[in-house]
Amino acid sequence: MVKITIDKNSGYCFGVEYAIDMAENELEKGETLYCLGDIVHNSMEVSRLAAKGLIVIEKDDLANLHDCKVLIRAHGEPPETYKTALQNNIELIDASCPVVLKLQNRVKHEFDRVQAKGGHMVIYGQKGHAEVIGLNGQINNQATVITSVEELEALDYSRPISLFSQTTKSTQGFQKIRSTIEQKILDAQTDADLAEVFDANDSICRQVSNREPQLSQFATEYDVVLFVSGKKSSNGKALYSVCKNLNNKSYFIENETEIEPDWILSAQSVGISGATSTPMWLMEKVAHRVSEISGSPFVKS
């Protein structure tokens, strides 16, 4: 008998759930609704909403639309998107996550402060990610976006630096970036007062960062961990690495069809978790597939 459990702390974060609820409410009105980019980094959920009528468009498509409704997803958008919508009489259904909107305002205000001191902005995030594009767009794309410690070599450590993070990045990754910058500043300015020349803003969403310690415990409680996430999800990649570091029998899957029976057959327990962009219904499909393979019942709690 295999114990099959879905992580009770997994599933949509508030921002994603809010965006999907807004989309479904609009679609129920029977009107055409466009979405600027995939509403969530999960292809299964994108397909489900497409079947309900949600039409995904890219940034370049927006300029050619007029007199319609366009949903802004949780990641947020740069100011130019709102300007285009106003010019083209587009009604925006703004589902930007409140956490992201607050961060956008923080970035704008901090940019003015650090620029006055001759400093520069650094954003720890995934290049090309919608949230990062929105953040950098608040300051005319004048921040340096870095994804790894190696990229820190390009910064000028003789100038003040203000650091922010994409909300869904790993807290461990952020701390490593921060400590590396601190050391490089001290190497470049031996008499530097770090409090004066370096402002590190841990802007990672607490709903995301709290998942890491919770998931660390979860990953050690099961023989096998199936982590369900879209391959585009930055949050998913970060959380999966938490599982893999603690349980070598952790597997990253997008849906139930990717499960290899050999992973399950020798296990006594299987834990199923997912990113903040992974719907509960998809994790339940994974649980039912594990039940089919193992011949053990899955009881939804």
- Evaluated on CA atoms 126, 127, 133, 138, the torsion sign reads positive
82-to-72, 93, 123 alpha-carbon distances in Å: 10, 11, 22
Spatial neighbors of 52 by CB under 8 A, at least 6 apart, are 24, 27
Report the distance separating Cα 152 and Cα 149, nearest Å. Answer: 5
In the numeric block, the tokens 């339940």 are attached to 284
Report the distance separating Cα 98 and Cα 182, nearest Å. Answer: 30
The tokens describing 148, both together, are: 């790894």
Q: Residue 287, SS3? A: helix
In the numeric block, the tokens 């468009």 are attached to 57
- Of these residues, 26, 131, 254, 256, which one is catalytic? 131
Report the distance separating Cα 245 and Cα 231, nearest Å. Answer: 19
Q: Is 91 a catalytic residue?
A: no
Enumerate the β-bridge partners of residue 164: 123
Report the distance separating Cα 42 and Cα 82, nearest Å. Answer: 25
Report the distance separating Cα 225 and Cα 165, nearest Å. Answer: 28
In the numeric block, the tokens 């009528």 are attached to 53
| Residues carrying an active site annotation | 131
